[in-house]
Amino acid sequence: MPLQPDFESGNTDVFLPRRPRRLRQNPQIRALAAETRLHPADFILPVFAADGIGEKREISSMPGVYQHTTDSLKTLCHEALEAGVTCVDVFGVPLDEDKDATGSVAWAEDGVLNRTLAALREEFGNDLVIMADTCLDEFTDHGHCGVVRTDRWGRDVVDNDATLPLYVKMAVAQADAGAHIVSPSGMMDGQVGVIREALDAAGHQDVAIMAYSAKYASKFFGPFRDAVGSSLKGDRRTYQQDPANIRESLLETQLDIDEGADFVMVKPAMPYLDVLAKVAEMSPVPVAAYQVSGEYAMMVAAGQNGWIDFEETMMEALTSIKRAGADQIFTYYAIEASKRLRGEGGDRG
């Protein structure tokens, strides 16, 4: 039993066999006892390659994040490598006039995404892991992730099975262009299986698949619509997951693993840490989490208003994602976080 202090004698010391504060008393001891560690190699940097711009252009709802030209993206990727970030996820932003009902520019060799993938692979070889976003939403004139048809009740619906062959074309084109990893993010049933089969048939057995397995119909995606110039009409609730559900995520993840996914992902990250922990517990393959645009933008805005310490809050958020079970973290703060981890300091916020 702890001894009680004798306040009258001035002795306020208490005997406690366990004092957890012993392991918090200075930065060195805290580091020694840390259960969760971030490393630059954990981070994946999402980047945007835009057609029709002469210089990089800041995304208004995501301060510090830009749509890039090929040259400015190469510069950014060199900076990422120097900071220790070894993987980028490339999104294409086509001209509005290049969009159509099926998103056909997504698999065009001279389309903005595939041109950029080829340029990055030529520039970096295998020094930088190049991931390609494999989804049609940036490329369709309606902004949905697949083929839209009218059903017999006169409703516009996204046709799952008609979309799968288009994902196949897109994934193979990305692999042909030099992507090390393709990342189907459209939440079409069966997408991983048909892509794996097609990649192998095309001689791309070594190209990996990052499956967006638990991707929720989230309002935290809002600023991303600006980043890719989305043409979305309506919403994506018929194919992205209901925020109320978690068993569904485990089913989606298991299906993707069974179909050949090399990585699985939970998106968004912080609002779904419970999902991330469950997925990490059951998955035999690496588990990623995507700190999405809304998560990033809220912290930036709060930091700019002086309501939070942006850099410290961001590092806390990233640590929480890692602690919940993420092996990889998609974050727009990847370069700055890596510099902080290496003692160089960040420069945003």
Q: What residues are annotated to the active site?
A: 215, 267
C-alpha angle 65-272-323 in degrees, rounded to nearest 5: 85
DSSP H helices, 84-202, are 112-124, 160-177, 191-201
> Within 10 A of 217 (CB to CB), how many other CB atoms are there?
15
Q: Which of 33, 62, 31, 85 is nearest to 344 (CA)?
A: 85
- Residue reference for tokens 């097609």: 198
Rounded CA-CA distance 197/43 in Å is: 28
Using left for φ > 0, alpha for ψ between -120 and 50, and beta otherwise, residue 306 falls in left
For residue 34, give the DSSP letter: -
The 8 Å CB, 24+ separation contacts for 54-60 are 59/223, 59/226, 59/227, 60/226
Radius of gyration of the chain (CA): 22
Rounded CA-CA distance 246/325 in Å is: 16
In a 13 Å sphere around the CA of 181, the CA atoms on its Cβ side amount to: 24
Q: Is the omega angle on the peptide bond into residue 268 within 30 degrees of 0, that is, cis?
A: yes
Amino acid identity of residue 105, one-letter, is V
- Residue reference for tokens 């397995």: 213
Rounded CA-CA distance 268/219 in Å is: 10
Q: The tokens of 17 are what?
A: 């066999």
C-beta of residue 337 within 8 angstroms of C-beta of residue 38:
yes
